[in-house]
Structures are given as structure tokens and as C-alpha cells.
Amino acid sequence: MRIALIAHDKKKDEMIDFARRYRKILCRHELYATGTTGKFVGKLADLDIHTFLTGTMGGGQQIGAKIAQGEIDVVFFFRDPLTAQPHEPDVNALIRLCDVHSVPLATNLGTAETIIAAMKNK
């Protein structure tokens, strides 16, 4: 399974914690991430992650292109709905792409853990 990881600045610690807790599951899959998220999650959760550009430089769009090409199977995008910054990836564009291509998308920890639970059963 090919999994994309993206996190707004204020959610990066939550993404790192999530990746650490579910490392044994995540390490069995191909992981992709925007630059900064991938760098921190890869290092701090000890995971091999292919990183794209940072969100500021277009990493979200690069992941979006992979979704459109059928090359991403699930997206974990931990977004900050209250204080997201203008430079951060646009969740709405990725939600639209995931809906068009029927790719599961978790925008919060609760949904992410539900998807992880389903992955354990496969």
C-alpha cells in the first residue's frame, strides 16, 4: 500500500506521535510525504519515507499528482482547521482529488486510527 503523510505545522508533533505508535504497520508500506513532515517523521519515527518538496514549495501538489495517477492508496493529512497558515498545503484540493479517485483520507487522528485498524486486519 502507498501512503501519503502530510501535516500542517501545528500538527507535525501529532503526526510524529502517530507514526511512532503505528510504526510496525506503517513500515510495511511505501510512505510518501511533503518535505518537512517527511524529514521529521522519517527521522523521529525511524521510517523510510520518500519526500517531495515542502508544502510551501508544492509538495502537496506533487502528492496530489500521485493521487490523480492512481499511485497513492491512502492519505493521512493532519490539518489544523483553526490556525492553518497560507503557506501550508491546501487540504481542499487534496480532499477533492481523494473523493474523485476514491482514496481514503484522514484529516484527524480519530479517522487515521480507524484506517490503521482496518489495515491491521488485512
Q: Which residue ranges are tagged as binding site for substrate?
A: 8, 12, 34-37, 87
Identity of the amino acid at 12: K
Main-chain dihedrals φ then ψ at residue 75, nearest 5 degrees: -125, 130
Residue ranges of the binding site: 8, 12, 34-37, 87
23 within 8 A of 15, measured Cβ to Cβ: no
Radius of gyration of the chain (CA): 13
Spatial separation of the C-alpha atoms in residues 121 and 111, rounded to whole Å? 16
Q: C-alpha grid cell for residue 81? A: 482547521
